Structure 1
Amino acid sequence: MPQVVFLGAGSVVFTRQLLADLFRFDDLPALRLMLHDIDAERLAVAKGTAEQLLRRFGREAEIVATLDRREALAGADFVVNMIQVGGIDATRVDLELPARAGLRQTIGDTTGVGGVFRGLRTFPVLSEIAADMLELCPEAWFLNYTNPMAMNVWWMSVVAPSIRTVGLCHSVYWTVHDLCELIGVPLDGTHYRAAGVNHQAWLTEWSRDGESLYPLLREKIAADPELGRRVRVEMFRRIGYYPTETSEHSSEYLSWFLRSDAQIERFRIEPLQYIGISEENVAEYEHAKEALATNRDLELEEGAAEYAPQVIHSILTGTERVIHANVVNRGLIDNLPQGAVVEVPATVDADGVHAMPFGSVPTQGAALNRTYLSVAELAIEAARTGDPELVRRAVLVDPNASSTLTPAQIWALCDELTAAHAPLLPKQLGGEREFVLP
């Protein structure tokens, strides 16, 4: 019986969607679903969610919920990672503390100061997971959803290069989905390819019946001045290719927007937005808990859009499909650093996930990608060597931080964040957590 493990299953809304997408495949064999979380109450809600969906879809599966990660991982075939180290409290610190220093972010989970500190508190847990997997399920696929995506997948390649790690994010799919909806063209039958880094890949091909759809998008933008007041549209105008993450996310990866009140107004950006999103997620968890307690059906989104269920389905059934995946750059993108983590098209079949060599991304896009990857590289090296100065230098390289704060202010901010996150950070970096350097 194939075994699928969900780490961080207490993220019940995301667990619900992944399970629903998985259960929509009617040709899968019976599965053993191992749900793991460190929060017993959330884990119970995740189990109740899984049991309800199993009944509603009429599928066959064994569902086990456990607080013991090693129990969950023993014999696993697939490990789906969606942990959030520190939870909503750490997210508030990542956003609010820099904001008090004058540095604005919207989401703060991918790069920049928020992404760096989120990565630094996640790496020790990933190291523990990797050690358990090498012992208990060395052949399993590690399917990562946890941000910062590029940093986390890169870290896994450092501590456990033999583990088959793939980073999965739906941003490319939903970008194309929404663009097709915007110009009134059906998604089905559309051909698209994107490449770069996660949350900053470039839609280099987008066509239907051999004809590029970019001219239709340009016409739509020209006809609607309000569309021009979005970050991604401005990036498209200046770079020439559409980026694959939302305007809210994209605004904090560049120096162009959040440093200026006028730019925030012009491009309709909402600083600290992720705090509200996180609070909504907590409210949705409480709603799910109440629905299960009163035997009401949970609400489901239609369609199988998430990649992890598709990867599991392809490997178990041999169904071939194409996704976009985050993997180590080993000859995949010529003009981005080898060894870094990039996002490229990949085929999936019974033998696994196979990233496709892409060639070069547009030069102007690669220039932005390299800065993003430099932040990630310095954060990885800080954790690998235990050098706290590299943490500060990672933030210094970030375009948004350096456009707003002086070097001295960045150093002071990192000192404050280190103190605030101390229980979750390695001792070598000024925290309190025991951590063996790789």
Structure 2
Amino acid sequence: MSFKIAIIGAGSVGFTKKLFTDILCVPEFKDIEFALTDVSEHNLAMIKAILDRIVEANNLPTRVTATTDRRKALEGARYIISCVRVGGLEAYADDIRIPLRYGIDQCVGDTICAGGILYGQRNIPVILDFCKDIREVADTNAKFLNYANPMAMNTWAAIEYGKVDTVGLCHGVQHGAEQIAEVLGAKSPRELDYVCSGINHQTWFIDLRLNGRKIDRDELIAAFEAHPVYSQQEKLRIDVLKRFGVYSTESNGHLSEYLPWYRKRPDEITRWIDMSDWIHGETGGYLRYSTETRNWFETEYPQFLEAASKPIDASKRSNEHASHILEALETNRVYRGHFNVRNDGVITNLPRDAIIESPGFVDRFGINMAAGITLPEACAATCMASINVQRMSVHAAISGDIDLLKLAVLHDPLVGAVSTPEEVWQMVDEMVVAQAQWLPQYAHAVPAAKERLSKSTVKTREWAGAARRSVRSIEELRAEKAALKQAV
């Protein structure tokens, strides 16, 4: 087979390398072309060198090109994969820093909450630019695979306004299933069969079967509480399981910021999180992790390049959906996964226009969703709160309506539990002004926002958050990795 895959945001070096090697684990895909594109020539050069080394080491006919000219990369592409972060870590730092001034403590801030909503405002105009290029220069039947957060907002915009065949992809369901299989004592995650449905980062394991035996709520609670690690790392998640009766896919830290109950009081936050790793609830945890990862990669790049000389091991193919979807579409080997698509009645008690994440099957005819799923009422109610925020956020990003943007932030569950309307109005003004270079649709609103900020009487505070850690230096990271290696 010979076709072209374009990767937008290919400068996300580690993730691009994973997608690349996964796809080349499919025997029929050796003779395809990967067209890499990014706004950073520096990052493009690094990832191209790594991928070229993989191709050379495995004696493959695969072609790899790299360009900052996005339209050139998209020309004739059958598949387009996006993993962009508009504004990079600079804008992301404001997503965490500014809400903290108003008492809003986020762990990740990339889905909803104040940070996730502003992230969507930066991404959506760029997503629509991608879609325009795809319609104009890509293959007539091109499929857009979006990995970028905020997943639901980006996918919603691409489908409703970009008019491109789009599916959103995430690995939260797979990771949650691996946890469940482990606590139940399965020898392999493949022993667990499940139906997981909802919206991205708020999907729910509504049916669990281990080797054909149905697992009920009480057995699952007992298994998690008995686990020596997860019982400490997933305290909030286990509490939600007890109250809702079903387990959520998302990590302790992620889930904590989608709900209004666990991060609204600073003195209560540490009760529900665990500081053994960022993902369990640390304030700004993913920002710290991303910053350290970038610094580490820049410093240790020669090691990454050397590692690329190893043969591809198909047995280590990851559970990221992209390679499996492409394999099913191109070879008709059926793949079952969980995909982000427009609802259109798949989940009976969520709106038709919402972007849901739910089970589907892929073959040469496309992605075919399993319809007629009804969520437990508490799960549907929690999803609805986020869907309403997502819908307003998408429409605000399209229209550049700053008042609608403020209403979207006001209706966010955690923001509403912490902040007053006056605080929300000022916080959004502050974020739009700080991120104006990435928010062209709000250019007309920036002067008035600056004027309001100059006259504001709303009090703020400089606050690091309830559980903030400093970014570790390269020397500290090296020492930690050496200690772990010695311990093993």
TM-score bracket for the superposition, by shorter chain length: over 0.9
**Alignment map for 1:120-135 (pairs within 5 Å):** 120-135=121-136
Work out which of the residue numbers 221, 232, 236 in structure 2 matches 1:231. Answer: 236
How do 1:212-227 residues align onto structure 2 when only pairs under 5 Å count? 212-214=214-216, 215-223=218-226, 227=231
> Equivalents in 1 of 2:198, 2:328: separation in Å?
24
Q: Distance in 2 between matches of 1:362 and 1:392?
A: 30
- 1:250-298 C-alpha deviation (Å, 9 max, x unpaired): 10001111112343121123111112111122024315633366x4547
Q: Is 1:350 the counterpart of 2:364 in the alignment?
A: yes
User: Per the alignment, do residues 282 and 222 of structure 1 end up closer, same or farther by CA in structure 2, a change over 3 Å counting?
Assistant: closer
AA matched with 2:202: Q
Q: Deviations over 1:393-417 (max 9, x none)?
A: 1111111111111110011000000
User: Which residue of structure 1 lines up, in the alignment, with residue 415 of structure 2?
Assistant: 401
Query: Residues 222, 64 of structure 1: CA spacing in aligned structure 2 closer, same or farther, 3 A cutoff?
Result: closer
Equivalent residue, structure 1, for 2:264: 259
Q: Distance in 2 between matches of 1:398 and 1:17?
A: 34
2:149 is the counterpart of 1:147: yes
CA distance in 2, matches of 1:387, 1:273: 31
1:83 aligns with 2:88: no
1:124 and 1:158 map into 2 onto residues whose CA distance is 13
CA distance in 1, matches of 2:155, 2:300: 31
The question of 1:192 aligning with 2:194 is answered yes
> Aligned AA for 1:285?
F
Is this contact kept in 2: 1:328–1:340, CA < 8 A?
Answer: yes
Go from structure 1 to structure 2 and tell me whether the alpha carbon gap of 1:33 and 1:223 turns closer, same or farther (over 3 Å shift).
closer
The whole-number CA distance in structure 2 between the counterparts of 1:316 and 1:431 is 47
Aligned amino acid, residue 379 of structure 1? S
Q: Indicate conservation of the 8 Å contact 2:4/2:76, yes or no.
A: yes
Deviation at 1:24, TM superposition (A): 1.9
Question: Who is 2:254 aligned against?
Answer: 249
Query: Which residue, out of 199, 206, 209, partners 2:208?
Result: 206
Pick aligned residue for 1:423 from 416, 421, 437:
437
The one-letter amino acid paired with 2:255 is S
1:159 is aligned with what amino acid?
Answer: Y
Match of 1:275 among 284, 287, 309: 287
Separation in 1, partners of 2:93, 2:211: 47
Deviates more, 1:279-288 or 1:242-251: 279-288
Match of 1:25 in 2: 26
Q: For residues 143-192 of structure 1, what are the alpha-carbon distances to aligned partners after superposition, in whole Å with 9 as ceiling and x for unaligned?
A: 0000000000000122223x210000010011101221222212123211
Q: Look up the equivalent residue of 1:121 and give its one-letter code.
A: R
* Cα pair 1:4 1:32 within 8 Å, conserved: yes
Is 1:383 matched up with 2:397? yes
Tell me which amino acid in the other structure corresponds to 2:26: F
Root mean square deviation of aligned Cα: 2.0
Taking the aligned partners of 1:195 and 1:145, their CA distance within structure 2 comes to: 18
Tell me the amino acid that sits aligned with residue 283 of structure 2.
Answer: P
When structure 1 is superposed on structure 2, of 367-376 and 19-28 the one drifting more is 19-28
Which residue matches 2:471? none
Partner amino acid for 1:83? V
Contact 2:159 2:165 survives alignment (8 Å): no
Unaligned runs of 5+ in 1: 433-438
Label 1:351 to 1:281 Cα distance change in 2 as closer, same or farther (>3 A): farther
Distance 1:243 1:414 in 2: 30
Taking the TM superposition and a 5 Å limit, the aligned residue runs for 1:159-170 are 159-161=161-163, 163-170=164-171
Task: Tell me if the contact between 1:423 and 1:431 (Cα under 8 Å) persists in the aligned partners.
Answer: no
For residues 10-65 of structure 1, the C-alpha deviation after alignment (integer angstroms, 9 at most, x for no partner) is 00011011112112222335111000011001001111121122234443311111
Q: Which structure would you say has the larger Rg?
A: 2
5+ residue gaps, structure 2, are 274-280, 447-488
Residue aligned with 1:201, SS = strand
How many residues of Structure 1 are paired with residues of Structure 2 in the alignment?
Answer: 430
> Partner amino acid for 2:400?
G
Find the residue that maps to 1:191 and give its secondary structure: strand
Identity %: 31
**Mapped contact 2:113–2:415 kept (Cα < 8 A):** yes
The equivalent position to 1:368 in structure 2, one of 376, 382, 400, is 382
Residue equivalent to 2:180: 179
Q: Distance in 1 between matches of 2:219 and 2:59?
A: 43
Please tell me whether the aligned partners of residues 28 and 316 of structure 1 are also in contact (alpha carbons under 8 angstroms). no
Question: Following the alignment from structure 1 to structure 2, what is the Cα–Cα distance between the partners of residues 409 and 180?
Answer: 44
